[in-house]
Amino acid sequence: MLYEFSLTVGTLDSFSAAIEPITNQALVQILYGIKQNGIIASLYNGVWWDEIRKKKNAIPDRIRPIVLNLLSQLYDHGRIIQRPKEGFYCPKNDAEWFGEALASHDRVPFQCIITRKNSINARSGLPTCAVSLEEVLLAPQWNDRRISRRISRTSVEFENALFPVLSTARLITIIDPHIAIRVFRGNREFLKTLSIIDKCAIPDRRRCNLSVIEIHTKDHSEIPDDRYDEVIKSIKRAMPKCVGNAKDKRFFAWREKRPGKLFHNRRILTNQTAISCPWGLDIHEDYGDVPGDDEWSILDDNVRQSIWSDFQKNTSPYELRQEIRW
């Protein structure tokens, strides 16, 4: 649902008058698409982004304000993420940036590498992910993107879905009303999910720091106030990487007000995106279980902001019962 792309620096330069209407439209549409459900790799330890910012005046006049605005939004939402350098020397032109992208793709695959057609024509034996800006809007590598997916509620499926969402996020918010009570009861299905979230959130050689991870759940009458520490201990055992790497870790338990808004929906929010998980975050793969399916989807940014507001102390429709740093 969240895909990583590489754009070579030459895609922002002018093209010949004959094809510039096509490339202008393509550049704007791919940036809009990436804003919806993608991230851009800032190659060579982030030098790519430095080069892009220098190209402000090279962008064709007709699309310059739109392109600069979209790039700014992507950067502000943490959608432009450094990738480690591959070459010995910093790329100096589009063809060299294309080579850097290909080398980076060999290490961790891209959904799509978008470059100029002459950079593609200068090479042979290219991976199928390499597409020219002139033709990208017709390419399956671009059009196969999806904002939703059906997943089986198993460890493997959860990990495949969550790794792209969590591995480069700086802020992660997990929302499920049943986490506290299920963890308190020793439910392995939720503890498995927390372990998978931990693995996906802190991969080896994480490319940016994880600043904040929060868990929001419903306060349950079965859990005495003085026994929430047992819930926290179980969460910490399930999420050792987050314990050791996230700067700020917080647990919140909320109570519904009567009359008031119900605490029901399950979501995962990050600084980059928001995922709706209607059936919840518990895994069903014990012997004899039928895992079942769920349909996860990416939510619009205005919806993400609205959900985030529901779980802030000064704007929440719920009563905060527990706030625990872990």
pLDDT level of residue 1 (50, 70, 90 thresholds) = confident
Does pTM top 0.85 for this prediction? yes
Residue with the larger pLDDT of the pair 293 and 286: 293
d(CA 124, CA 106): 15
pLDDT (tens digit, 9 = 90+) per residue, 237-287? Answer: 999 999 999 999 999 999 999 888 999 899 999 999 999 999 888 887 776
85-96 tens-digit pLDDT: 999 999 999 999
Judge whether 2 and 273 are in contact, CB under 8 Å.
yes
- Residue 205, judged by CB atoms within 10 A of its CB (0-12, 13-18, 19+), counts as exposed
Q: What mean pLDDT, rounded, does the chain reach?
A: 94
Range of weakest confidence among 127-136, 189-198, 285-294:
285-294
For 148-192, the pLDDT digits (tens) are 999 988 899 999 999 999 999 999 999 999 999 999 998 888 899
CATH 2.40.50 given to domain 3-143: no
Please tell me the CATH superfamily of domain 148-325, with its number.
MITD, C-terminal phospholipase D-like domain (3.30.870.30)
Domain ranges of the chain: 3-143, 148-325
Burial 114-126 (b: 16+ CB within 10 A, else e): bbbeebbeeeeee
* Dihedrals phi, psi of 245, to nearest 5 degrees: -120, -30
pLDDT at 287: 65
Cα 259 to Cα 316: distance, rounded to the nearest angstrom: 14
From start to end of 91-211, where are the E strands? 112-115, 130-132, 148-152, 171-175
What pLDDT does residue 279 have? Answer: 83
- pLDDT of residue 288 exceeding 70: no
> Which residues lie across from 115 on neighbouring strands?
132
Q: Which residues in the chain belong to E strands, given as ranges?
A: 3-7, 38-42, 80-82, 112-115, 130-132, 148-152, 171-175, 212-218, 248-255, 267-270, 274-276, 293-298, 319-325
Identical fold at 3-143 and 148-325? no
| DSSP conformational letter for 272 | S
pLDDT of residue 284: 79
